Amino acid sequence: MLIQKHTKLLVSIAVVLPALVLLYIYLQPLVNLLTYDLFGLKPDSHLGASINFFFYDTVKILILLFLISSLMGVVNVYFPVERLRVFLTTKKLYGLQYFFASFFGAVTPFCSCSSIPLFIGFVNGGIPLGVTFAFLITSPLVNEVAVAMFLGFFGVKATLVYAVSGIALGMVGGFVLGKLKLDRYLSDWVKAIQTNTERADEQWEAEHTPFVDRLPIIITEGWNIVKKVLLYVIIGIAIGAAMHGYVPENFFTQYLSSDKWYAVPMAVILAVPMYANAAGIVPVIQVFVAKGVPMGTALAFMMAVVGLSLPEATLLKKVMTWKLIGIFFGTITVFIIVLGYLFNLIL
Amino acid sequence: MEIKILGTGCPKCKNLEKITREVVEQNGFEATITKVDDIMDIMKYNVMATPALVVNEKVEIKGRVPSADEIKQVLSKY
C-alpha cells in the first residue's frame, strides 16, 4: 500500500517534470499557434502582440515559479531556520556568520508573519543583532517569487546580479548595523530576552521522515505559493503587456536615463513606501527597461520595493523602537542607491 | 488530547486554527484547542516559523498550513 503510493508519486513526478520542461521550451511556438492561428490575431498588430506576450509570459512565469518554489522547499527541509540558529550559535565562524545568515535569508521562503518569531528566536539564541539583521535584510529581498520573476523577465545574468548583490547587501548591511551598537534601541522586553539568552537546548532535532513522504508536502507548498501570487502575476503581466504594445519607444529615457544623477535616488525613494510584491511589479519594470530606463535604476527600484515595506516596518515595531526601524531602513535605502549607481556603471 | 496552535495572529495562523477545529469536529476527536499567541510561549517550543501545530506538547507541523487530510492523519496518531 505504502510502496504503491510512492511509486504512483514518483511516476507522476517523472511525467510532470519533463512535461513542464518541454512546455517551457516549446512555449513560444505553442502560444503563436494559439494566438495567431486559433484566435486569428495579426502578429504585427498591437493587440496581437500584446495578447501573445501575455499568454507566453504568464505560462512561463508560472512554470518557473512552481519549479523554484519547490526547489527552495527541498532546501528548507534539510536546512530549516531552526538548524541555522544552532549552526550560528555553536560554531566559530570568523565573520562568515554574516554570509550564512544572509544566504539562508535568501533561500528560506519568506513570510512577513514569521519575521517576529524569527527575530526573537535569533535574539533568544544569543545571535548578535548585526547577524540577525543580515538575515532580516535578505529574507524579503531575495525570495522565490522575485527570483522566478527575474529569471522569466530579465534572464539568468540579471537574476544572478540581483541575487548575489542582494546577499552582499544583507552581509554588509548587517555588518554595518552590528557595528553601530544599536541594541539599546530594541524594545525593553527584547532587551530583557537578550540579557537572558538560552543556549540550553541547542540541539536541532532532525525529523527522520523519508524524502518521498515529504515530497508531496513540498510540492503542495510550491503550488500554494503559485496560487497565492497567481492573481498578481496576471495583473502585472496584463499591465505590462498593455504598456508594451502602446507606450512609445524611449518614452522614459528623457526622465530616467542614467546620465541624470537624480534618477537612482528618486526611483529608490519612490519605491520604499510602495507595497507591491515582486509578482506584480517585475512585469511592469520590464517594460520600463524595454522603453529606455537603465537596468541599474530598475534593479535598485525593485530592491527597494520588495526589500523595504511599510507593513514590515509596523510589524518590527513590536520588537524595536521607531528610531531603530528608521536607522535600519535608512541604511538599507542608502546601500540600495549605491548599488543602483554601481549597476548603471557596470551593466 | 491537547492541541495548541502557535501563531502571532497572522492570516495563516487563523487559517490553521479554523481547519484544525473543523477536523476535530468532523471526526469527533476528543481534544482541547488552545491558541498560543504570546511570542515567548511560542519560543518555548523552539519554533521560529509560524504557524505551528502542537499536539500533547509535541510540535507536529510548523511554518505552513497543512491540508485537512494531513491534520487528520496527525491527530489519528494520538
pLDDT digits (tens, 9 = 90+) for A202-247: 555 556 667 777 787 888 888 888 888 889 888 988 888 777 767 7
Residue A207 lies in a domain: no
CA distances from A160 to A146, A164, A166, A208, B70 (A): 12, 6, 10, 34, 37
Cβ distance of B64 and A221 shorter than 8 Å: yes
Inside any domain, residue A201? no
| Range of the structural domain that residue A158 is part of | 2-194+212-346
pLDDT tens string A310-333: 777 888 888 899 999 999 999 999
Helix (H), strand (E), coil (C) string for A323-343: HHHHHHHHHHHHHHHHHHHHH
> How many angstroms separate the CA atoms of A77 and A338, rounded?
35
Binary contact (B43, A217; C-beta < 8 A)? no
The CATH number linked to B9 is: 3.40.30.10
DSSP for residue A291: T
Question: Does any domain span residue A200?
Answer: no
Give the angle subtended at the CA of A94 by the CAs of A88 and A96, to the nearest 5°.
60
Burial of A259 (0-12, 13-18, 19+ CB in 10 A): exposed
A76 in a structural domain: yes
On chain A, the residues whose CB falls within 8 A of the CB of B47 are 82, 117, 121
Chain A residues touching residue B12 (CB < 8 angstroms): 111, 113
Q: Strand, coil or helix: what is B34? A: strand
List the one residue out of A298, A285, A283 whose CA is nearest residue A241: A283
Residue A101: its chain B contacts at CB < 8 A?
A: none
Cβ contact A89:A121 at 8 Å: no
Helix axes A46-78, A211-246, angle to 10 degrees: 150
Residue A66 makes CB contacts below 8 A (sequence gap 6+) with A20, A222, A223, A225, A226
A80 and B50 within 8 Å at the Cβ level: the answer is no
Interface of B with A (CB under 8 A): 7-8, 10-13, 39-40, 42-43, 46-50, 63-67, 70
Instruction: Provide the domain count of chain B.
Output: 1
Cβ of residue A149 closer than 8 Å to a chain B Cβ: no
Return the pLDDT at A198: 63
What does the block give as the cell for A102? 544572509
What is the separation, in whole angstroms, between the first and last Cα of chain A? 56
- Do the chains contact at A221 and B67, CB–CB below 8 Å? no
pLDDT of residue A271: 82
pLDDT reported for residue A1: 46
Mutation target for B interface from A116, A123, A136: give the one with most B CBs within 10 A.
A116
Pairing of strands B32-36, B52-55: unpaired
**Three cell numbers at A7?**
511509486
Closest Cα partner for A283 from A50, A102, A111?
A50
> Which of A76, A83, A111, A127 to probe by mutation at the B interface, max B CB count within 10 Å?
A111
Q: Is the pLDDT of residue A58 over 80?
A: yes
Q: Determine the distance in angstroms separating the CA of B78 from the nearest CA of chain A, rounded to an integer.
A: 18
Distance CA B14, CA B72 (A): 18
Mutation to test the B interface, candidates A113, A191, A220, A317, most B Cβ within 10 Å: A113
- Is residue A125 pLDDT above 60, yes or no? yes
Please give the grid coordinates belonging to residue A161.
546580479
Examine the predicted complex and report whether its ipTM is higher than 0.85.
no
Chain B residues whose beta carbon lies within 8 Å of the beta carbon of residue A217: 64, 66, 70
Contact B49 A111 (CB under 8 A): yes
Q: Is the minimum CB–CB distance between A192 and chain B shorter than 8 Å? A: no
Mean pLDDT of B32-36: 91
Contact residues, chain B, for A80 at CB < 8 Å: 49, 63
Number of domains in chain A: 1
Which residues lie below 8 Å from residue A347, measured CB to CB, with a gap of 6+? A158, A161, A294, A295, A296
Residue-range definition of the domain harbouring residue B49: 2-76
The residues that bridge with A289 in the sheet, in sequence order, are none
d(C-alpha A99, C-alpha A219), whole Å: 28
Residues of B annotated as catalytic (active site), given as ranges: 10, 13
* Average pLDDT over chain B, rounded to an integer: 87
Residue whose C-alpha is closest to residue A258's, from A174, A342, A323, A329: A342
Q: Does A116 touch chain B (CB under 8 A)?
A: yes
Choice among A251-255, A295-299, B53-57 with the minimum mean pLDDT:
A251-255
* pLDDT of the residue at A200: 45
Residue A206 falls inside a structural domain: no
Phi, psi of B60 (to 5 degrees): -95, -40
Instruction: Decide: A300 and A340 in contact? Cβ < 8 Å.
Output: yes
